Chains A and B, each alone.
Chain A
């Protein structure tokens, strides 16, 4: 698996800073195989990090990982069959700068758009599987994200399979205007039909999951898991601070806060996620209405 240099870059603006990231695209970490944990400053070898699924073995800090890495962590080897891999966004509204931004995002992420979907096995259990891609415009939801997720749920409903989904998103893709907003309704419809067929849907909310993704398929799982310290909310913290003109309390909108307020079922360390998912899938085996 390729090591992404951008993974070790300190995120500047978590939600909308993708264009700033592009301006500073020179690697902040040279090619050596050593990085410092941004949380506890321990020096870590990248080989060790891979083994720890990009979680700092010292303090448990979860490094940002891309969609392909998550697939490798969770899906059984060579079991992932990708769907709709060639779908890529169009600039439907002729929005200033969008075409160039799409190109840059494709270069940055090596993905066509902000979600990877397909079918896979997790410890032998077959399921639909989607992972949003943080390095593609911070997982913003455009038409292609909505379309790929909808198609995944439709096929999973047909095949009577559960769906496991990893979310990461700054929210709607503003450059697609109302086409973006409509994907919230569209995906929710597909989730609902899948749910009404008696099938299981588990979401794993990762850092950050905000806006239209939280307010649609992110919060629609039968079981909602989260990674430690993941930022999860509807309005982003910066927007709330600007609107309220006050500092937000420590830990506000973090996964632990959502666990306390009752919006997340369980926080699961990345190193335990495959085991947890396999366990939950086993409990729902043979799901689906006759």
Chain B
């Protein structure tokens, strides 16, 4: 593998993690807002 490909290989994972983090935070916010509207706790 060339150094550039290796760099992409190393750095792609934190990028995917960032994507998952955004999905989780947005979904948690939706869960929290729905629970609040329904007057119950999120868990």
A and B part of one assembly: no
